[in-house]
A and B are shown apart, each in its own frame.
Chain A
Amino acid sequence: MTKWLVFLLAAGLAAGCLASARLDGGGDEQAKTRRGRLRALGLGVALLVIAVCVIRFLRAQSRPVAHARGSSFALSATSSSSATLWLVLAILAAGVLVALRWRRALWIVSAALMAAAGYGFVRARDYGNAALYNTVFHAAQPMAVAIPRIVNTAGRAPSPAHRLALSVTLKHATVGFSLPVLSSVVPANNVMSYLVLPLTYAALLLGGWLAWRALDGRSAAVRLVVGKMAEAKKQGRHWGILLLPAAIVTAELLAPNIWFGPGAANIGWTVALVGGTLLLIRRWPVVAAWLATAGLAALGLAGLYLAGSWDSGRWPLPLTPDGSVFYGAVDVSSHAMIYPATVQAVALIALACWLVPRTMPATLRLLGTGSQAELATRVRRLAESRAAAADTAAADLRRLERDLHDGAQARLIALGMNLRAVERLIPTKPEAALALVAEARETSARALTELRELVRGVHPPVLADRGLADAVRALALDCPLRVETDIDLPGRPPAPVETACYFAVAEILTNAAKHSGAREAKVAVSHAEGMLRIAVTDFGVGGADPANGTGLAGVERRLATFDGILAVSSPVGGPSIVVLEVPCALSSPKISSC
């Protein structure tokens, strides 16, 4: 009977989530999409599961049976009316939360998962003395005594029953909360309890991922981290982060009692290990990525050796007091466990192999196995950029032809006609002829101006004369902004690269003058390790986006012909930084100009 009520409510919750998502989803834009609805549903179910776990746990606690670790996690079929009431309330709360504040629901789910993971670690590692579990569990005790006193400022002495209730609640709220989540998925069966660790890792990953999603660009700090990660990813330096799990697993393998068991080390070890690893990752991301790859491979090999040597007892590293070995997500404590350990070892080796081309491209090239896929991508990119270059060149020629046809050519025709008229007028009306001659001179001057502009557009003379360095200086001088230049080019890039870069800088400076509202800009040109790098910075309004115009997109296309790239960083409010990088070699040292 009560079970039916619960099912009914659960169905109602699901339907309510769907409906609320359809009906504007509590004002959240994302909730209107199909994904949003699915998410609402998933969150509702997750919250429900958590609620069920908490209630079951509370019930188990309220029974006088001492709650020993791993004693009974099975769902009890009986249900008291008060538990049903709790459940109903929980379902209603979950529904309301998902409908109105799905982000907060996401938070709760992820926090629950993390807490479950924390508990899972304690459970998996806490053999024999239950020290850690008890420590955390009883940490709540003093609070349980203190808080009722603070709450009861009215002077009413808290009744013993009141105090007991609060103490129990607080205990559950701290550590106990995570217990039921895990216990509901891990039966107390002995073999299956080996799953605690893998499940714990899964819960940790899922919880972390959800928390990440919940944060998603909300706070400035997260944006900073995301930005840093994106930057690292862009430079292919993000694999270093894998060093953190590799280091932790290695530390556990080498010193099983480092965190758990008798003589578990204090928090200092954790800080030293995690902090040191993070520092290494941040300071030397490339080295960290290398180490992570090598470390994962080594862990994999160690796992294979462990599996092979377990039965003969030749494993050289220290064991836990239980006589087992902590190997990542697998605790090797008996012959049966060498199979999951082997699986994990192979997976780690596979992961390391997969990482090698990503973290050690140079090594790969050394081995002469520059992968086929890489070549294929490159060929495709070259084909694309070549087609774009050919299109651009054709369009440029067409434009040139039209400009000449409508401009200089037309003016020369007019000039010829003018002169012919002058010829006729001279004998009869010399003053009129004089006026026409002045006009002819004007026309030829204008034709010259137009031709000059055309020539600048095709190939700027100063670039031909002096090369990129001085041409960029000339651009800086021509720009209405005050442009500071910092140019360090010991030679000249190939002519086509020079031209492309010149027009790129011209476009970027024109943009700065046209859109940014800045008074000053900076241009830095340098060449290092086979890469020409130009950075143009202005301190204007920001908001530059190649997608909003033709100029920057054109520059991007033109640079692509040379495997060059254009990167725009222009947050609203500025500053705008446009960086272009083109791989190229510099030819003979600069002939000193003047």
Chain B
Amino acid sequence: MRVVVAEDLFLLRNGLVRLLEAHGFEIAAAVDSAPDLLQALLQDEPDVAIIDVRLPPTFTDDGLRAALEARRAVPGLPVLVLSQYVEQLYARELLAGDAGAVGYLLKDRVFNDDQFVDAVRSVASGGTVMDSEVVAKLLGRRSREETLARLSAREREVLELMAEGRSNSAIAQRLFITEKAVSKHSTSIFAKLDLVPSDDDNRRVLAVLAYLNG
């Protein structure tokens, strides 16, 4: 699987490259600025790009903007955006268009390399991955209080993990329950939230996120 890595800090870029190579990824390009990133994304056509939000030249959200621009040129181009902090505003911008194949994670998440690599693979295959901080804030909305109060504690946990973009098996593993139990919970959640159930993992994440964002 070919990956483009965009990160301006040498130490972190190297760390990422090493981590990815150790897990069998092929590094198509490792760049350190937004213009280079844009070029790499449009020319190298990677399977997935891992992008830092803050990049030269302006050191603001250049990385994010390059990612969004590339996705406008190539809809559905898989990008996993990393940042020192997460903003719901950016999450919304990334999710806009319903194309899927996006991820938005705190940089801290690379500490758990297995989960991180899962996330990269999920995005590469068209999935959606949201950081648990974003999801927690979405669930903390007062406007959603009433409907969410209808869920059981377990269902809430499942919903949280679903919104983060995890597969049924990952959720089952995490909560120490069977996959069958997970799908039962998910059916019940969708019924309680008046959402149209879907077997497709990615559709499911998008539906849940759209619901929470709404």
Contact = CB atoms under 8 A, between A and B. Distances in A.
Interface of A: 441, 444-445, 448-449, 452, 455-456, 461-462, 464-466, 470, 473-474, 477-478, 480-482, 513, 519-520, 593-594
Given A473-B89, A594-B64, A594-B65, A480 B142 contact: yes
B92 interface: yes
B60 to A, nearest CB: 4
Contact of B142 (A441, A445, A519): A519
Given A441-B111, A481-B142, A519-B142, A464 B60 contact: yes
26 contacts: A441-B111, A444-B111, A445-B111, A448-B107, A449-B108, A455-B84, A461-B54, A461-B87, A462-B90, A465-B53, A465-B60, A466-B61, A474-B87, A474-B88, A477-B92, A478-B88, A480-B140, A482-B141, A482-B142, A519-B142, A593-B61, A593-B65, A594-B64, A594-B68, A594-B69, A594-B93
A438 to B, nearest CB: 10
Interface in B84-135: 84-85, 87-90, 92-93, 107-108, 111
Contacts of A462: 87, 89-90
A477 B89 contact: yes
B96 to A, nearest CB: 9
Given A445-B108, A455-B84, A481-B142, 14 more contacts: A441-B111, A448-B108, A456-B85, A461-B85, A465-B53, A465-B61, A474-B87, A477-B137, A480-B140, A480-B141, A480-B142, A482-B141, A519-B142, A519-B143
B4 to A, nearest CB: 19
A452 B84 contact: yes
B159 to A, nearest CB: 17
B143 A482 contact: yes
A163 to B, nearest CB: 74
Interface residues of B, number: 24
Contacts of A464: 60
B88 A477 contact: yes
A481 B143 CA distance: 6
A116 to B, nearest CB: 61
A464 B65 CA distance: 14
Contacts of B143: 481-482, 519-520
Contacts of A482: 141-143
Query: 7 closest Cβ contacts across the A-B interface?
Result: A477-B88, A465-B61, A465-B60, A482-B143, A474-B89, A480-B142, A594-B68
A452 B133 CA distance: 12
A291 B112 CA distance: 75
A462 B84 CA distance: 11
Contacts of A520: 143
A465 B55 CA distance: 11
Contacts of A593: 61, 65
Interface string B122-166: 000000000000000100111100000000000000000000000
A421 to B, nearest CB: 19
Nearest to A513: B142
A294 to B, nearest CB: 53
A472 to B, nearest CB: 10
Main secondary structure of the interface of A (DSSP, over half): helix
Nearest to B61: A465
Interface centre among B85, B92, B140 (most CB of A within 10 A): B85
Nearest to B88: A477
Contacts of B87: 461-462, 474, 477
B211 to A, nearest CB: 14
A478 B88 CA distance: 7
A448 B137 CA distance: 19
A449 B85 CA distance: 9
A520 B108 CA distance: 33
A448 B84 CA distance: 9
Interface centre among A477, A478, A480 (most CB of B within 10 A): A477
Given A452-B85, A462-B89, A478 B61 contact: no
Contact of A461 (B84, B88, B107, B137): B84
A455 B141 CA distance: 24
A164 B97 CA distance: 93
B51 to A, nearest CB: 14
A465 B59 CA distance: 8
Contacts of B89: 462, 466, 470, 473-474, 477
Contacts of A465: 53-54, 60-61
A430 B54 CA distance: 39
Interface centre among A455, A461, A465 (most CB of B within 10 A): A465
A481 B142 CA distance: 5
B60 A478 contact: no
A466 B85 CA distance: 14
Nearest to A470: B89
B36 to A, nearest CB: 19
Nearest to B141: A480
Contacts of A474: 87-89
Nearest to A520: B143
B81 to A, nearest CB: 12
Contacts of A448: 107-108
A439 to B, nearest CB: 13
A593 B66 CA distance: 11
Contacts of B90: 462
A455 B108 CA distance: 15
Contacts of A449: 108
Contacts of A519: 142-143
A59 B107 CA distance: 99
Contacts of B60: 464-466
A470 B142 CA distance: 22
A482 B144 CA distance: 9
Contacts of A452: 84-85
Nearest to A474: B89
Contacts of A473: 89
Interface string B30-41: 000000000000
Nearest to B72: A594
Nearest to B92: A477
A594 B54 CA distance: 14
A478 B68 CA distance: 22
A445 B84 CA distance: 12
A37 to B, nearest CB: 53
B101 to A, nearest CB: 17
B85 A455 contact: yes
Contacts of B53: 465
A437 to B, nearest CB: 11
